Amino acid sequence: MDTVVAIAESVRKGEKRAVEVAETALARIEERDKDLHAFLAVARDELFAQARAVDDKRARGEALGPLAGVPIALKDALCMRGVPTTSGSKMLEGWRPPYDATVVARLRAADALLPGKTNLDEFAMGSSTESSAYGPTRNPVDPTRTPGGSSGGSAVAVAAGMSPASLGSDTGGSIRQPAAFTGVVGLKPTYGRVSRFGLVAFASSLDQIGPFATDVRGAARVLSVIAGHDPKDMTSLTADLGDYEAACGASVRGLRLGVPEEYFAEGLDPEVEASIREAIAALETDGCTVRPVKLPHTRHAVATYYVIATAEASSNLARFDGVRYGLRVEPKPASGKSQGSALRAMYGATRDAGFGPEVKRRILLGTFVLSAGYYDAYYLKAQKVRTLIRRDFDAAFADVDAIVCPTAPTPPFKLGEKTSDPLSMYLSDVYTLPASLAGLPAISVPCAPTRAGLPVGLQIITRSLEETTALSLAAAVEAAGSRRGEGRR
């Protein structure tokens, strides 16, 4: 499939009609998605209405936006007016949001096409898309393997050529890890860079929306459309945007790279390590300098994240009680009960039927760590460790411009391999969680696959708001890969 930029340019020049692009995307979805299950809803009528509107706009001689005619699939945690939004849960089955998320409104304003909503782990809780209430998504590289998660559907939509770009959300790795597992580019921007208004909240001090794309420049262009201040999200930053697209292809000569020894420890697959070291060596050939850095609190990141994220989730998910959204389950009538207890019974029956086991586990854990008597020992302690993790990065960035490391410790694992062992699933996030806890931007870019052809992603973490540096380095890695002939699938 053509890249984001190639499609937008050919639609702008009139070489291709947006309706033709929509037809190609839909044909590809029909052909591939039976087996892969990346989409939860395909918005066929909306897609053609948008495409016709773009073509009409051009026919009237009006200037087209930077994403003219470019299909962009949306993780199903993002609200798109009138289109079912489930967040991968039975709890929201049949709910149609009455409004667009800010990012969706911005994509529309840039003349993008919105083909539909993609599968995810329930409420974005997971690393494999297997906790979705609607069944797993498969990895197009090897359908017996997971595409990662939680934004697995958005990654697969791009990897399988169904959409040249998509949006995901990343709370602890949910854009970067599935990008690495499927061989595409995935970018988690700085916390606050992109508005979350209209994103179904998981852990509000961590959640951030970002793009997947077939190439780095495509991700940069999508970021330049969705980023920027939004008064509807109180965590949204007012800082100026970088020139994200110009950053792709800019020289990386003289950039100082830090390699954290803690990220090359036990549990790292040797083939992943070899591929990462090769990508770092290619950056060195391009004129970067490489030195070791220390991020000593890395080993506490998994525990810290799973206290903070579950605490916030237990609070955010309290709103799903059968009163306002989606599912309501009436309990069996019990005679002699007060009205108040009948209401509580309805809450209980709804939440019991609506949430899957992983979400229930997180609500229980989160409620526990926030409860009187345990708050100081768990939640408060985790907040303190989070500060230490952030300070590790501050210290490292005094000496280097970017940190380079694996995105995930292993290549994509088999479906079912970790579903009965939550701890091993949580450990697959070990390299993505620290940047999330520190609020830093991080990108995953494909590097050399394993001998069996499984994708590997290099993670590049930079200082707050320095997405531009990450994009320049990612583009250099991508260029080195195509020089070696690692063509995209």
From the candidates 89, 128, 132, 150, which is the catalytic residue?
150
Minimal distance, residue 460 CB to ligand GLN, in Å: 18
From the candidates 89, 132, 151, 174, which is the catalytic residue?
174
Closer to ligand GLN at the Cβ: 87 or 462? Answer: 87
For residue 166, indicate whether it is catalytic.
no
Instruction: Copy the structure tokens of residue 461.
Output: 């973490």
Closest by CA to 443, choosing from 472, 401, 479, is 472
Q: Is 195 in the site for ligand GLN (CB under 6 A)?
A: no
For residue 482, indicate whether it is catalytic.
no
Minimal distance, residue 191 CB to ligand GLN, in Å: 12
Closer to ligand GLN at the Cβ: 10 or 204? Answer: 204
CA distance 212 to 78: 15
Closer to ligand GLN at the Cβ: 173 or 183? Answer: 173
CA distance 153 to 148: 9
Beta bridge partners of 258: 291, 403
Closer to ligand GLN at the Cβ: 124 or 283? Answer: 124
Q: Which residues contact 138 (CB under 8 A, 6 or more apart)?
A: 35, 36, 37, 144, 145, 146, 147, 156, 415
- Stretch 442-461 residues interacting with ligand GLN (CB under 6 A): none
Minimal distance, residue 438 CB to ligand GLN, in Å: 14
Closer to ligand GLN at the Cβ: 127 or 410? Answer: 127
- State the CB neighbour count (10 A cutoff) for residue 413: 20
- Stretch 88-127 residues interacting with ligand GLN (CB under 6 A): 124-127
Closer to ligand GLN at the Cβ: 150 or 316? Answer: 150
Closest by CA to 80, choosing from 97, 94, 68, 93, is 97
Closer to ligand GLN at the Cβ: 199 or 282? Answer: 199
Q: Is 41 in the site for ligand GLN (CB under 6 A)?
A: no
Stretch that binds ligand GLN, among 134-142, 169-177, 281-289, 316-324 (CB under 6 A): 169-177
Minimal distance, residue 99 CB to ligand GLN, in Å: 22
CA distance 464 to 467: 8
Stretch that binds ligand GLN, among 103-111, 165-173, 327-335, 385-393 (CB under 6 A): 165-173
Q: Is 173 in the site for ligand GLN (CB under 6 A)?
A: yes
| Burial classification of residue 87, based on how many CB atoms lie within 10 Å of its CB (0-12 exposed, 13-18 middle, 19 or more buried) | buried
Closer to ligand GLN at the Cβ: 51 or 202? Answer: 202
Strand 72-75: give its sheet, edge to edge.
Answer: 39-42, 116-118, 72-75, 165-170, 208-213, 185-188, 442-447, 456-462, 402-406, 256-260, 289-293
- State the CB neighbour count (10 A cutoff) for residue 231: 10
Closest by CA to 1, choosing from 177, 142, 184, 151, is 184
Q: Is 78 in the site for ligand GLN (CB under 6 A)?
A: no
Check: CB of residue 458 under 8 Å from CB of residue 279: yes
- Stretch 308-367 residues interacting with ligand GLN (CB under 6 A): 309
Minimal distance, residue 72 CB to ligand GLN, in Å: 19
How many residues are there in the chain?
489
Q: Is 202 in the site for ligand GLN (CB under 6 A)?
A: yes
Among 33, 230, 429, 466, binds ligand GLN (CB under 6 A): 429
CA distance 415 to 413: 7
For residue 150, indicate whether it is catalytic.
yes
CA distance 409 to 272: 7
| Residues contacting ligand GLN: total by CB under 6 A | 13
Among 88, 115, 147, 172, binds ligand GLN (CB under 6 A): 172
| Burial classification of residue 158, based on how many CB atoms lie within 10 Å of its CB (0-12 exposed, 13-18 middle, 19 or more buried) | buried
Minimal distance, residue 174 CB to ligand GLN, in Å: 3
CA distance 454 to 413: 10
Q: Is 77 in the site for ligand GLN (CB under 6 A)?
A: no
Report the chain's terminal Cα–Cα distance, integer Å.
Answer: 9
Among 174, 275, 350, 459, binds ligand GLN (CB under 6 A): 174
Report which residue's Cβ sits closest to ligand GLN: 174
Minimal distance, residue 117 CB to ligand GLN, in Å: 16
Check: CB of residue 201 under 8 Å from CB of residue 78: no
Minimal distance, residue 459 CB to ligand GLN, in Å: 14
Site residues (vs ligand GLN, CB under 6 A): 124-127, 150, 170-174, 202, 309, 429
Annotated catalytic sites, by residue? 75, 150, 174
